[in-house]
Structures are given as structure tokens and as C-alpha cells.
Structure 1
Amino acid sequence: MTLHDLVSTTWLQHHLGDDGLVVVDASVGAYRGRDGIPGALRFDLDGVMSRHDTDGVHDMLDPRDFEQRLRDLGIRDGDRVVAYDAQGLFSSARAWWMLEAAGLEAAVLDGGLPAWIDAGGAVEPTRERAERAGDVSVRWREDAFVDADVVARAIASDEAVVLDARSFERFAGIAPEPRDGLRGGHIPGSVSLPFAALECDGRLQEVGCLADRIDEAAGDAPIITTCGSGVTACVVALAATLAGRDDVRVYDGSWSEWGRPDSGRPVALGD
């Protein structure tokens, strides 16, 4: 059975416990560490599932390191993985993008833990790892993540449209950045497409609506998504993928890298 990129709570209720189906909790920040879907494993984006030796906050691990983290979690070759988070649809898309980049079959639970609970689903403490040992081998997709140099070249050459998933207020430099020390504003030439505008009550909008929003923002150009730290950029990447786009990449360091005063990168204000 093919695993679609977005699954419903009804689908998961029918398939929870299937052989080879793994559920992971990718919650971050204050939502991390809460009870979750029965059997779920902690996909710790604030911890071992991200690099912490770079200018970014949630930067992607080296493929070999990521492979080992997945094995430590108990992921095996052939497993299908459904990611969710406790905010609805926020950080789970980051886990989905990472897993897809590593060649795994993965999906996001639409509406996340709130939707699961609303549907009558039980909760229990999230597990740190599976009882079985993992043996997954990653098959890395080199173009899934890009760095600041690629973003700068793409904008200068008009070879891609950069979509910024942060709020418009942060994009315009009106609202302060939540991380200390970052400049306000956005990457010159980028386009504001807040991830929240693609959702309704923690669920993604219908595919037709998503396609309209993506087409309005990017036209038919290839897409690079960005945000504050590479997390909600993946919500836009998910929306674009559901809308039928196969030309999407994620700027890993995002504003936590570009927006640093010593990054040497230009900043634009307003719209």
C-alpha cells in the first residue's frame, strides 16, 4: 500500500499497529514531551534529530548521522513512517521532509495530536525508541536541502522563487524575531507565504486551494522554501508537494542563519 504524503486520523485509526507502520512525535518547544499517540516514538527535532554545531537551529544531520539516529530509534528498512506534532501541523512536516530526503516512505498526520484526540484517539507516554533494533539504510536525495549560497544564486538568476513561511509581520520586519540577535526583514527577492495561511484549525486546506496559493506565489518556477529555522518551511514544501509540485527544495539554515548580523547577507524590509 502506497503511503500518501498526508493522512487523516481515520486512516491512522484503521492502520495503527500495522506491521511496518511507525508513528513518530515530532513536537518541538513547549509541546515536546507530552503524551501522544499510542506507540509513537519521539522524533526529537530540538535534540538528537538536528545538528547543533552550525549557525542554524534545526539544521539537517549528515546523512550517515541521520541514518544512525533512525536506527537508534528502531526504524527498519521498508518501514513507513507517519509524523505528527502536538500543535496540529507545525513541526511534523519537518520530520516528513527529512525522512523523504533520506529515501523513506513518510507522511504527515493532518491535524496532528489535537485532531487525533478530537477523533476519540487514546494517548500514552511517547517512547524514546522501539523495542526492536533498527537497520534502515538511507538513500539520500541531494537536492532536498539547499544552503544560503544556492538561495542567493537562485534569486540573482531568477531560477527559483523563494517562499518565506514566516508571518508577514516578521517578513516585513514589523514584528521582532523570536530568536535573540537576529535582524528583522527577509531575503531580498523572496515572497511571503505564511504557513498559517495554508491551514485551517491545524489542518491543511483542500488541495485545490493549496495549488491556487502556491501558483499565485510562485507561478510555474521551481520553489525554495524558508522560514525561521527550517521547520515551517517544510509545511509550505508539503503544501506544494500535495499541489503536484516536484521542484521544491528547503533552505535549511533559513532566517536563523541568513538573519544573523554577521552573516554577510543582505536584508530587505517591507513587502
Structure 2
Amino acid sequence: MNQIELPSSLVSPEWLSKHLTHQDVVVLDASWHMPASGRNGAEEWQQQRIPGSRFFDFDGRIKDQHTSLPHMLPDEKLFSKEVSALGISNHHIVVIYDSLGLFAAPRAWWMFRAMGHHKVAVLNGGLPAWQQAGLPLEKTAPAAVPPGQFSARLQPGWIADADIVARALQQNNSRVLDARSRERFSGTAADPRPGVRAGHMPGALCLPFNELLQDGRMLPEQELAAIFAPLLTPEQTLICTCGSGVTAAILALGAELAGHKNIAVYDGSWTEWGGSADRPVEKDVC
């Protein structure tokens, strides 16, 4: 087969359909749902999926197993082991989707980028867009796949911890954007996690993730650029945060598509910051 290249970090259902059977393409379902939804991504993947896709479990298996914070990025060893078990090697092009359109897939995209893998993209519109395009689903039992050989190489620039965020909030060469709703940012809505305070980091800016989306798809690049332009300059480092590091990755993906280069995700996000008594919190209108 001829070699193929990703057009960007976002691909259409038509592009994926054209290249679905290429030997270098691996498709992952990274669906994850808020606990209150009652939905289970892995169970739904078992029932129906894009043909040949494997399930990427960043909430259970592919996470730091030694912290109480939800779905934190694992170390290189665990990531390499779990990704290899999915039949992925470093030469593969990885396309990631989720069942909500565009919600959890960017989290998995960011994880691959943070682990040094550049040949990774999100399916724009996810499983709903695939179905709306009339493309086939696989509903039989998932087939076993032979293991791959994936070696992760951690890229610290893609990752921010609480101390990095605290410094960034004081620096003009950085911006911290919060992907949570305006109500949660302002503190008018309580945090859904027990023991986590309401409000936001002093100096952070509010950009709800759904403002980058329309009908479960990412907005066009020019529209994304117009959204980010008033919030940060191309020279500034962007740190994206949210409730637990999932929708922050939507901002990271949108910023990259808009042309920004220095992008990180605060992995602990508000669950860590709002749950730590020694971190300052503000409440005001977003």
C-alpha cells in the first residue's frame, strides 16, 4: 500500500473511510461519559463500533494508577505497554473518535502527543458523524489484535502541573484558559465532585469548550482563530484546564488547529486545584 499522511489533527469521516483498511491506520474509540450519565463507553463499543476500532480506556487502564485524581496521564512504561497491547506501533497513524461527537477523543489525542506520537488525529464529529455519513458499523464481537511495539517518549511541554499553572498565572508570556461552563467558572454552580470548591484560578480566562463546537464538530480553523485571537497571542504559552483534564484537551486541539504552537494541558485541572486548600480561588462573572 502507498504511504499516507494526516491532513491535520482533525480528519473527516470521508477521509477515514477512504483510509480505514490501510495497514498503517489504527482507529481507537476513546468514549468516556460523566459518571452521572449512566453510560459506559467500553460496553457501547462492544455493541457497535467503527470497523476494526479498538477501545482506548483512559479512565481505567491507561492512567496513573497511583493517584486519587481521575484519569491522570500514566508514565511512559505503562502507556507503552497498554498502547502496544492495542496493536499499535510507533509507525502507525492513529485516528481517535468518541460516541458523543467530539468530547473525550481529544483527551486521548493529547495523551499521544504528550507521549511523543505526532501521527494522531481526532475524527471530526465522531461516531455520530460517521453514522450520518451512512458509513458502516461493526456489531459482531471485537476481533483480537496482535500486539504492537510502541515506545513512548514523554514531551514535558505538553503537560502542566499545579506549580507550573501557578507560575503561568503570574506571567505575561502565558495564558490559562478554563474549558468549564461559565457557571462553574464564576462559582455560581457548585462543583460536581465532593470537596472541590467552586470558582476559578485567579487570572484564568473562561472559554467553555462547547463554544468551539457546532453540532458535535469542531468549528472551521478560521473561526477557531477568531475565538482565540482576543485571548492570547501566538507567542504566548497556552495552558488548558477544565474539571478533570478531558475537555481541556478540546481547547488544546482547537488552539493547535487555529495555529498556536506552545500548548499544554493541566492534567489535574480543577479537581486538583479546587480540592487543594492552599490554592487560591476566585468567584466572579465569566
Shorter-chain TM-score range: over 0.9
TM-score, scaled to structure 2: 0.90
The amino acid that maps onto 2:273 is W
1:157 to partner: Cα distance: 2.6
Partner of 2:214: 200
TM-score, scaled to structure 1: 0.95
Q: Deviations over 1:172-216 (max 9, x none)?
A: 111122222211111110000011000000001110110011111
Query: 12, 16, 22: which one pairs with 1:8?
Result: 12
The amino acid that maps onto 2:153 is R
Q: Is the 8 A contact 1:171 1:185 kept in 2?
A: yes
User: Which runs of structure 2 are paired with 1:1-271 in the superposition (5 Å)?
Assistant: 1-3=4-6, 4-29=8-33, 30-32=39-41, 33-34=43-44, 35-104=48-117, 105-125=119-139, 130-220=144-234, 221-260=236-275, 262-271=276-285
Q: Provide the aligned length of Structure 1 versus Structure 2.
A: 270
CA distance in 1, matches of 2:21, 2:194: 43
CA distance in 2, matches of 1:222, 1:196: 22
The amino acid that maps onto 1:248 is I
Identity of aligned residues (%): 44
The amino acid that maps onto 1:253 is G
CA distance in 2, matches of 1:54, 1:114: 33
Where do 5+ consecutive residues of structure 1 fail to align? none
CA distance in 2, matches of 1:183, 1:166: 14
The amino acid that maps onto 2:116 is G
Q: Deviations over 1:18-45 (max 9, x none)?
A: 1110000000122512122111100012
CA RMSD of aligned residues (A): 1.6
1:164 to partner: Cα distance: 0.3
Partner of 2:36: none
Q: Deviations over 1:208-249 (max 9, x none)?
A: 110011111223421100001111100000000001111111
Where do 5+ consecutive residues of structure 2 fail to align? 34-38
Q: Is the 8 A contact 2:158 2:263 kept in 1?
A: yes
Q: Is the 8 A contact 1:257 1:263 kept in 2?
A: no
Q: Deviations over 1:108-127 (max 9, x none)?
A: 00000110111112222597
CA distance in 2, matches of 1:270, 1:245: 28
The amino acid that maps onto 1:2 is E
